[in-house]
């Protein structure tokens, strides 16, 4: 499990750690849909705004 910051509102989002690349998650604070980007298992998860 790792804490990721929402790119929109900077809130800390506790993720389960089993998110998949390309999965859409919703910020619990601003409800923005965010796409999970996992470039490599060794890299931290990145969240980008789902456009």
Which residue ranges make up the site for Zn ion (CB under 5 A)?
6, 8-9, 11, 27, 29-30
Q: CB-wise, 21 or 49, nearer to Zn ion?
A: 49
Of the candidates 34, 32, 31, 33, the one whose C-alpha atom is nearest the C-alpha of residue 46 is 34
Give the shortest CB-41-to-Zn ion separation in angstroms. Answer: 25
Contacts of 43 (CB under 8 A, 6+ apart): none
Give the shortest CB-46-to-Zn ion separation in angstroms. Answer: 14
Q: CB-wise, 11 or 48, nearer to Zn ion?
A: 11
């Amino acid at each position: 499990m790792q804490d990721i910051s929402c790119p929109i509102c900077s809130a800390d989002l506790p993720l389960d750690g089993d998110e998949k690349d390309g999965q859409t998650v919703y910020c619990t604070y601003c409800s923005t849909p965010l796409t999970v980007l996992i470039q490599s298992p060794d890299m931290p998860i990145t969240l980008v705004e789902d456009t």
